[in-house]
Each structure stands twice: as structure tokens, then as C-alpha cells.
Amino acid sequence: MRADLVMREPQRLEKWQQAGLYAQIQAARTAAPKFVLHDGPPFANGDVHIGTALNKILKDIIIKYKTLRGFDAPYIPGWDCHGLPIEFKVSQDMRKAGDTSADAATIRKACEIYAHKYIDLQREQFKRLGVLGDWENPYLTLNKEYEADELRTSSPRVLSIAARNQCIGAFPAALHLPRRKWNMLTMSARVYL
């Protein structure tokens, strides 16, 4: 590339990191009106692809624009660490390795390790795209505090629906659960409240 972009771009990013550019911007805007962009997080299940890159860059443009317009516009990155995309990849890897009899706890632990691997990888890839944010303090859906907050927020709804033995979008498999399984779910939810 011309003008040594391949060499200069990583140096520029390193300079921003060492100078604490994001922290300086946030400190300069503490008294400004707040603008919060709620970022729907990517799954932590692979390299950044064109879709996740475009999504993150467009959001970064909005945040930088609002910051330049005088707003306090923090960006807290996050990752969705639960769900079928991660479980599918982990199950696929386990089957390839010949492990077809893993219990639920083993699969959950493998999913957590897998998610952390891609959180670290994607974090570096997003930084490389020039996205500024509080990269050292992201929100992760696998953090126990986050999970407990989710339970506290959703438990009245879950308990209410469980009492009526109905299905909700978050628990589509519930149509097939017998009543005693719902009771176990509601008892588990109460433990975190």
C-alpha cells in the first residue's frame, strides 16, 4: 500500500491506546448531555466478518458524530456468549474430537472457554478497525452478575407465565415441558432473586 499504511496504521492505533484517547474524550465530555447507543452485541463465535464489521463501524461513526456534536457518548462493547451459534460450534468440535457423551456441565464449560477465545479475538479485530470504546470493561452475557440481573428483571414474567404453564419466546421448548420441569425452572429462578 502507498504511504506505508500497513506499517503506520498499527502505530497510530498503538499511539491512541497509549495516550488513552477514549478516556480523554470521555473525561472532556462528563458534563455534556448524554447520548447512549444500545449496541446489540455480536455472538462470540468466530472472526469478525463483513456483517459484524459494517455493523460496528456504522455504530462507531454515530458515536463519534455525537461526540463531535458535544454529547457524552460512551461506548461499552459487549458480546452475546449464549445461544445456539456457540453451542452448535462447540458440539461440532466435540463430535469431531470423538466426544459424543459429554454432560451438560462439560458442554457449558467448553462454551465458556470458546466464547472467551472469540471475545479476545474480536476485541482486537474491532480495535484494529479503529473503533473506540471501553474495551477493558465490556458487558458479557456469561458474567454471573449479568445473568443474575437478567433473572431479576425477567423473573416476574417467567414466574407468572410458568404459573399458568404457558410458553414465551424466550422458552420456546416450554411447550414440551411437563409441569414439574416448569416448577424446577421457577425454583431455580428464585435462588437468584
* DSSP secondary structure letters along 17-52: HHHTHHHHHHHHTTTSPB------PPBSSS---HHH
Going by C-beta distance under 8 Å and a sequence separation of 6 or more, which residues neighbour residue 93? 110, 114
**pLDDT higher than threshold 70 for residue 165:** no
Compute the half-sphere exposure of residue 151: CA atoms within 13 Å on the CB side of its CA.
Answer: 16
pLDDT digits (tens, 9 = 90+) for 83-139: 888 888 898 999 999 888 888 888 889 999 999 999 999 999 999 999 999 999 998
58 vs 61: CA distance, rounded Å: 5
Helices 104-128 and 5-19: crossing angle in degrees, nearest 10, is: 110
Rg (C-alpha) for the chain, rounded Å, is 21
Mapped onto helix, strand or coil, the DSSP state of residue 4 is helix
Per CATH, which fold does 2-140 belong to? Rossmann fold (3.40.50)
Identify the pLDDT of residue 120. Answer: 95
Give the residue extent of every domain in the chain. Answer: 2-140, 143-193
183 vs 177: CA distance, rounded Å: 10
Whole-structure pTM value: 0.74
Which cell goes with 21? Answer: 484517547
Mean pLDDT, the chain, integer? 82
Q: Give backbone dihedrals phi and psi of 134, rounded to 5 degrees, phi first.
A: -85, 75
pLDDT digits (tens, 9 = 90+) for 109-122: 999 999 999 999 99
CB 70 within 8 A of CB 110: no
